[in-house]
Structure 1
Amino acid sequence: MAMNEVLSEIDFRFLSIDGKFPERIDSLNPEASARRYYRATYPDGATKILCKDKVFQHDFQEVGHFLEHHGFKVPKIYKTDVFNKLMLLSDEGNSDLSSIQEDAEYRNFLVKSLELLVSLQKTRPEPPVSTREFDYEKLNFENKFTFSSYINFSEMFKLKTKLRPEVVFFLEESSGFLAEYKEKVFCHRDFHARNIMLSPSGELTLIDFQDARMGTPFYDLSSLLYDAYRPIPFAMRQGLFLLFLNLSGNRFSKPKECYYLQCLQRSYKALGSYFMLVAEKKQDKYRKSMLNCLDNLLEIVQVGLFPDQLFLFFHLLKKELSENPMFLEKI
C-alpha cells in the first residue's frame, strides 16, 4: 500500500526495529472500532502489528500486563509511543475461534475457552479493572443505548414494530438484579469468538480486553455461548452452561436466574450495537449478525421464562426485517 495513504512519517519511523524498516505494510480489517491495525512485514519475514488509536490505550497495557502475569496468553507489546498513540504488538495471526466451521471441533475450543474463563474469574483483579464495574448505571446506560439506536434504525428502515415501555421496564429491573448480584468477578467484557485468537498449534490468545471490569460470573459466559457471529445449537449451549457451573465448583448463587438475565441484558446490548453499526456507521456486514442476535434473544426469552412483551418485540422485529426488501438487499 502507499505509505502516505494512512501512515505518517512519524508512524513509519516508529516501526523501525534495530534500524530495520518494514518492506510492506498491510491495513487490517478493523472490527467495529475507531482503532486501526496494520501488519508490518520486515526484511527477515517477521511480522508485527501496528495499532494506531485516537487515544493511547493505557488500559490495554495495564490489563495485558496483569493477564500475562497470571499466565494468560496476550499480544506482546514491543514498543509504545504515548504521544502519537502508537503500539507495536506481536502478530497473533489471522485465525480466531469463529473461523472453525465444524460444530464438534468448535465445541472442543469452547471447552478450552471456558477453562480459560474460569481461571480468569479466579484472579484477584487490580486497578483499572477492580475500580470499575457493571453497576446499575453502566448496565442501564447500555439499555438506553439500545433504545436510542433502535429509534434511528427503525426510522431508516421505516419499521412499524415499536419498542414498548414494558420491555424497557423489564430490562431496567434486570439491570437492578445484575448490579446487586454479590459475586463479582473479572469480566473481559467482549469475550466472544472473534476476540479469542487461535494459533496454528491450537493455543488461545485473548485480545480486546482493555475495557475489562468487574461483573457477574455470567457476563463473559453469555458473550461466548450466545455469540451472534458464531451461533451454536441449543443442546450444545445447555451442556456448556452446566460444564461451566461444574468447572466453577458450583460456587455461585442463583446461577440459572442470573445467567438468563445476564444473557438477556448482554444480547440486548449487542442488538443495540448492530442497530448503530448498520444505521449510523453503514456497516452492512452486521445485518446478518442482527438476525442471529434476534434468534438468540427469542431463545433466551423462552428458556428464561421472561414476559411475553419481550418475545413479541423480538419476534415481530425479526419477522418485519425478514420481509423488508431494503434490509435484505445488503445481507
Structure 2
Amino acid sequence: MSQLPQGLAEFTARAGWGAAEVHPLPGDASFRRYFRLSRGSGETAMLMHAPPPHEDPAPFLHVAHWLNDHGMRAPAILAEDAAAGWVLTEDFGNDRMRDWLDAHPDEERAAYEAAVEALAALHRLPPGPFDAYDMAVYQREAALLTEWWCPAQGLAVDAEGYTAVWAEVLAPVLARQNPGVTVLRDYHAENIMLLGGKASAPQGLIDFQDALVGHPAYDLVSLLQDARRDVDVNLETAMLVHYAHHAGAGDDDFIADYATLGAQRNAKIVGIFTRLDRRDGKPRYLAMIPRVWAALERDLAHPALEPVAAWFDANIPAELRAANGAFAA
C-alpha cells in the first residue's frame, strides 16, 4: 500500500469500498492513474486519481454526467472528490476495442460500424454545455507541429505562413460546424470499450474530459485515422458511407471538412508525440508518427488542403516526408 497515492484509503472508505482490493492499472500519456477495485462479492469498480495541480477531474465529471443524462454510455459515477482528484466509476471491464480486435480481426467491420453508429447517435443530440472548438483552439493544436516536431528535426520553417494557411482552410469548416455537436476529441479504438464483449456491444466511452462543441467530422477522423491502430483506407471509406447513412452528412463539403480536420488533427498528434518524447521522456510514441504522417499526407491530397499542402511542399524536406515524419534511429 505504500506505493499507492496518499488519500486513497480514506476516499475508498468514504465511498463504501474501503475493504476492496486495489489493483494498479497501466497508465497513459498523462498524470492520471487508474486502479481496479474488487471485493468479495465479485463486484468491481474503477478508481481514477487525477491529482491537482497537474490534473483536474472536474471536466471529466462534467462531461460524464452530461453523456449519461443524454443516453450515451459513459461510466456511471459512483463517488467523487474533484478537489482531491478522486473519481470512482463503474467498471467497463477489459474489452477495449483495440485489444478485442487483435483477438477478433474478422469482426473489424462490425466493430467499426457499431462505433460509427454510436457517434451518429451522439451527433443527433443537441450540443452539450461545453466550450466551442473555435479557430484559436484549432490553430493552437495545429501549431504543435511547428513548435515541437520541426525543431526536433532541426527545421527552421515559416511559422507565420503556417498559421495563415490554416486560417484559410479552417474558415469554411468553422462556417459549417454551427450549431455544432459534442466532440469527444479522442474517440478511437483505445478509448472505446465493448461492454458485451462482442462487436455489436454497446460502446462504452472513456477519456472524454476535453470535450468541446465542434464539427461532426472531427471524432470520425479520430476513429478512422487512428494514431495507434492501422485502419485500412477501404474500411475508412466504407465507414464514411456508413456514417452518412446514419447521420445524413456525407456530401462533398463534409468530405472536404473531414480531410481538413484530419490534416489538422494529424499535425497536432505529430507534435504531441514529439513533445511526449522530448519534454516528458516517453519515446514510445515516436514509433506511431509514421502512421499519423501517412494519414496526414492522404488528407493533404484533398483540394481543400491546397494552401496547407503548398506550405508543406515549401517547408518540409522531401526526404522527411518520404520517411513519413520518422526520426532517424
Both structures adopt the same fold (TM-score exceeding 0.5): yes
Q: Is the 8 A contact 1:20 1:42 kept in 2?
A: no
Q: Please give the secondary structure, in 1, of the residue aligned with 2:142.
A: helix
The secondary structure found in structure 1 opposite 2:216 is coil
Rounded to whole Å, the distance in 1 between the matches of 2:120 and 2:72 is 12
Q: Secondary structure at the match of 2:226?
A: coil
Aligned match of 1:219:
218
What is aligned with 2:11?
Answer: 14
**TM-score (structure 2 length as normaliser):** 0.86
**Structure 2 partner of 1:229:** 228
Deviation, 1:88, is 0.9
Q: 1:276 deviation in Å?
A: 0.8
Output one character per residue of 1:190-213: Cα deviation in whole Å (capped at 9) or x when no partner. 111111112343332001112211
For residues 65 and 87 of structure 2, what CA distance do their matches in structure 1 show? 14
2:276 corresponds to which residue? Answer: 277
Q: Do the aligned partners of 2:92 and 2:193 also contact (CA within 8 Å) in 1? A: yes
Matches within 5 A, 1:107-118: 107-118=109-120
Residue aligning to 1:73:
73
- 1:142 aligns with 141
> What does the per-residue CA deviation read over 1:282-322, in whole Å, with 9 as the maximum and x for residues that have no partner?
21221221111111112222245633443673853254665
Residue identity in the other structure for 1:60: F
Deviation at 1:18, TM superposition (A): 4.1
Q: Secondary structure at the match of 2:40?
A: coil
In structure 1, the partner of 2:107 is 105
- Specify which of 177, 187, 194 is matched with residue 190 of structure 2: 194
Aligned in 2, Cα 1:177/1:93: closer, same or farther, shift over 3 Å?
same
User: For each residue in 1:112-170, what CA deviation from the matched residue of structure 2 results, as whole angstroms up to 9, or x when unmatched?
Assistant: 1111111101111342x2xx111111111112233212255x1xxxx355544554432
Q: Secondary structure at the match of 1:214?
A: strand
- Contact 2:128/2:181 (8 A) holds in 1: no
Asked if 1:293 is matched to 2:292, the reply is yes
Partner amino acid, structure 2, of 1:172:
A
Residues 253 and 299 of structure 1: CA distance in aligned 2, closer, same or farther (over 3 Å): closer
Q: How many residues in Structure 1 have an aligned counterpart in Structure 2?
A: 313
SS of 1:88's partner is strand
Q: Which 5+ residue runs of structure 1 have no aligned equivalent?
A: 326-331
Q: Check 1:242–1:314 CA distance in 2 against 1; reply closer, same or farther (3 A cut).
A: farther
Question: Is the 8 Å Cα contact of residues 144 and 271 (structure 2) preserved in structure 1?
Answer: yes
Residue pair 1:298, 1:311 contacting (<8 A) in 2 also = no
Tell whether the 8 Å contact from 1:96 to 1:198 is kept in structure 2 after alignment: yes
Alignment partner, residue 329 of structure 1: none
How far apart, in 2, do the equivalents of 1:41 and 1:133 lie?
Answer: 39
Counterparts of 1:314 and 1:104, CA distance in 2: 39
Change (3 A) 1:253 1:319: closer
CA distance in 2, matches of 1:93, 1:60: 19
> Relative to 1, partners in 2 of residues 1:315 and 1:76: Cα closer, same or farther, differing over 3 Å?
farther
More moved, 88-97 vs 288-297: 88-97
Q: Is the 8 A contact 1:79 1:88 kept in 2?
A: yes
Contact 1:274 1:286 in 2 (8 A): yes
Report the counterpart of residue 29 of structure 1 in structure 2.
26
2:48 counterpart (43, 48, 51)? 51
Q: In 1, Cα distance between the equivalents of 2:236 and 2:260?
A: 16
Aligned partners of 1:242 and 1:281: how far apart in 2? 39
